[in-house]
Chains A and B, each alone.
Chain A
Amino acid sequence: MNTDLMVNGQAQRLDADPRTTLLDALRNYLHLMGTKKGCDHGQCGACTVLVNGRRINSCLTLACMHDGDEIVTIEGIGGPDDLSALQQAFIAHDGFQCGYCTPGQICSATAMLDEIAAGWASHATKNVASLPGLTVEEISERMSGNLCRCSAYPNIIDAILEVAAGKEQS
């Protein structure tokens, strides 16, 4: 069946089995290999992409359910020669080792900085009514949907803190 997607700003028509997840559609049909399959179960976050500006696990949703949706994958965030500030900070702080969970971490962190800017509370936010602060604890909680077995967690936090501080200044 046909599904029309807007992927990284480009219109794409997908012709796939309705059982195809958005993750498998991106990889096997649209040949965007940056989004990774770590568990195919919504338990690791390696497949995180942005759909209409929100981060979701692309393994947990069927491609055909996204007719007309705007999808941003790691390829849309920045290529090797055109890295975003967050991608550069991940390199500088060694926010990865094997690199497999990294596209998902960066998609997730990109969305998270927007969520914090919009003032959404998280589980770690002390007071539900107040604006969240950019503490280690707050970021750590919000990034806990993305597993990293190499455990670059402390470095990921440092990378995000650096970019968030830069955003606050500008």
Chain B
Amino acid sequence: MTSHIKMDERVERDRLAEMVQAVIGKPLDRPEGALKVSGAAPYAMDRLPANACHGVLVRATVSNGTLRDMDVDAVQALPGIRAIIADDRLLRNPAQGMAGEAPIQGPKDIAYFGQPIALVVAETFEQARHGAQALKLRFEADGTAIVAPDDPKADIETPEDEQDSTGDLDAAMQTARHTVDAHYTTPGHVSAAMEPHASIAEWNGDRLTLYGSYQMLRFNRAELADALGIEEKQVRILAPYVGGGFGSKLGIGPEAVAAALAAKALGVPVAVAMSRQQVFESVMRRSETDQHIRLAADEQGRLIGIGHEALVSNLPGEEFSEPVTQATPFLYQGDHRVIGHRIARVHRTCAGSVRAPGEAVGLTALEIALDELAAASGIDPVKLRLINIPQKDPSQDIPFSSHMLAEALEEGAKRFDWDRRRSEPGAVRDGEWLIGMGMASAARVNMLIESKARVTLNANGTGTVETDMTDIGTGTYTVLSQIAGEMLGLPMDSVETLLGDTAYPPASGSGGSFGAASNGTAVLLACEEIRQQLCERLDCDMQGLTLKDGHAIVGNRRIALPEILDGSRLVGEGHVEPGKAEETVRQATYGSYFAEVAVNAITGETRLRRMLGVFAAGRILNPKTARSQCLGGMTFGIGMALTEELIHDPRDGHIVNRDFAEYHLPVNADVPQIDVVLLDERDAWANPLQAKGIGELGICGAAASIVNAIYNATGIRIRDLPATLDKIIDGLQSRTD
């Protein structure tokens, strides 16, 4: 009943291309669109039961120390208060992605300012909020807390397996005709999904149902069970609609555990939604980075050496560290290489995954450095990248599975009229605005994660897809329905995709851009299983079976599916696992960005006028939803380039700008009508769909194209993101002084 594949080698046969329903690859609308635009799609807090109590989390106001006491009695006496939960099972911070077990627990030991330490539960939200604010706490602070990674007293780890060196980069830097040797810094960022983290917990005996806002349910179920000390099978999590994730909802969070504990204690459902400020303070931030990049090139601009050494930070005891240099080993050629990675242990909000951990900031810095090399060598930035594309992965000496960086660069340059760019900075002026163009490469590693899915061909000839995969805005509902429709010959209105329920087969979850390809493969395999069963009923071989518009065509017969099914239904399960293909070839996605900015010569304000992204990510399952993913990624890049920056208080590390008024996401007026071009590609090493991930590719290097455009406009090189107006005006003034 289960069709299984382990990706050990190429899958030559392109099954989707053999199908005739013609829904795959089409820009179809989202099937859940009507629910979303009418407010009828139920997100976690929309499931609020009438008898639910409300919980509000209480946070620590020291960054390192011990919770000694809280004035529980005074709050208990307030109207409506039902409980104050300060259980040792409360989470210090959310679990990291794919942890599958509880993170550090216990509210007494404080590791960062904003750590959740208790939950006040009341009959109404207003009462609970009041109680949480009224709760008096007594901390014993440890005065020695290190809160900044550049604090000389900070404990710095240098994990041996994350350092790499080949050749002699120092010597290459000495002899090279052109070099770049500079530090680049990026500040902390947050995912800032529009839906704050929220959970509603309800117990039925010893069984827990949790309506949550999570990305990876099979892992979240294990994490929640582990945190509570119960069996996985006692836990069911539902998250059919998730109001954005971008990494922030990979692992189970403090609100889920708190809601479950409170609901158990009180015997009623308990709803806990974090405030926006709490999301900022107690959910994952992207680590700030300090990146030392060295480039050595010969007379023609060919790279002979690349060094990329990063310093990031995290809380003591956390395994995750921002993999800044992830794409550096394979993106460009160069025999002499140094990769470095260091982690400072600091008492700041936990660092974790934020959209495209690694490349988002690492490639951005590398691509600014490439622009510096272009300027230093006088070689056009597009050409410089083209001549440095390696023939195979230069670090591991393995072939690329597919590689369309050159095509993306050339296509982008053509569409953006790159040849109109003046290479000397500050050459184009429009009134008081300086105009410049910049570009960057995009690259992101491609992953496959074990996934299962079940497909049912119902007696009435419709199809149902079931998996605990989530759709966090990525288009999962759409693309899984398209794959099933294509494979089973069903029009889109005959396929229903059900997601976000741990009662369904366990999937990869949404993260790392692997969702569509991993789960799409599981769905494809499940459909193959059904096709096999149809062949048995029709007494034909797989080659002879054509499915289209709810009919089977075999030889000269065309039979409606209900007729074949004759009151029964067919069920198929698909199961995909990663295999040796991960080591045999280098799998990645590529692209290019082009940006045009206007920088005000007087105030230093930057206005993004045009932006183009060209991307290759294997087969594009749905160009409409894929394009939207790219728009979103590029807009993250706009924020990273110009406005987004977590600011920590130097005394206790607390996040100063913990709301949307002070942490500046791009607003509508900051974003031009971005162009996205998706190249036609197939990657047979990736999976049977020949598709790769696209959810993160759009951010990986995007900010560099804008920063490079600012350089072209003004001659000012910003190495410390974001490129805010005060930094630019400083540069403009020192140029005129």
Contacts and interface: CB of A to CB of B under 8 A. Distances in A.
Q: Do chains A and B touch in the complex (CB under 8 A)?
A: yes
Interface of A: 17, 19-20, 24, 27-28, 31, 33-41, 43-44, 46, 73-75, 77-81, 83, 87-88, 90-92, 94, 96-103, 106, 124, 136-137, 140-141, 143-144, 146-158
Contacts of A41: 276, 659-661
Contact of A97 (B29, B126, B628, B667): B628
B243 A36 contact: yes
B29 A94 contact: yes
Given A98-B193, A149-B193, A91 B246 contact: no
B504 to A, nearest CB: 20
B42 A144 contact: no
Contacts of A78: 37-38
Q: Give me the 10 closest cross-chain CB pairs, A-B, nearest first.
A: A34-B39, A100-B243, A98-B473, A99-B36, A97-B473, A151-B635, A74-B39, A43-B660, A33-B46, A91-B33
Interface in B32-61: 32-43, 45-46, 48
Given A41-B276, A97-B244, 15 more contacts: A17-B126, A27-B46, A43-B659, A44-B276, A80-B34, A91-B29, A91-B34, A98-B194, A98-B242, A102-B36, A149-B192, A150-B473, A151-B634, A154-B672, A156-B668
A34 B40 CA distance: 6
19 contacts: A19-B130, A20-B124, A34-B38, A36-B194, A37-B45, A43-B659, A43-B660, A73-B39, A79-B38, A80-B38, A83-B37, A87-B38, A90-B33, A91-B34, A99-B35, A149-B192, A149-B244, A149-B632, A151-B631
Contacts of A102: 36-37, 39
Nearest to A80: B34
Classify chain B's interface size.
Answer: 35 or more
A146 to B, nearest CB: 7
B711 interface: no
B195 interface: yes
Contacts of A98: 193-195, 241-245, 472-473
Nearest to A74: B39
Contacts of B35: 80, 99
Contact of B668 (A35, A103, A140, A150): A140
Main secondary structure of the interface of B (DSSP, over half): loop
B473 A144 contact: no
B33 A40 contact: no
Contacts of B246: 149
A39 B658 CA distance: 11
Given A83-B34, A97-B628, A100-B244, A148 B194 contact: yes
B563 to A, nearest CB: 31
Main secondary structure of the interface of A (DSSP, over half): loop
B77 interface: no
Contacts of A101: 194, 243
B127 interface: yes
Contacts of A73: 39
B195 A100 contact: yes
B727 interface: no
Contacts of B243: 36, 98-101
A11 to B, nearest CB: 21
B43 A91 contact: no
Interface in B657-697: 659-661, 665-669, 671-674
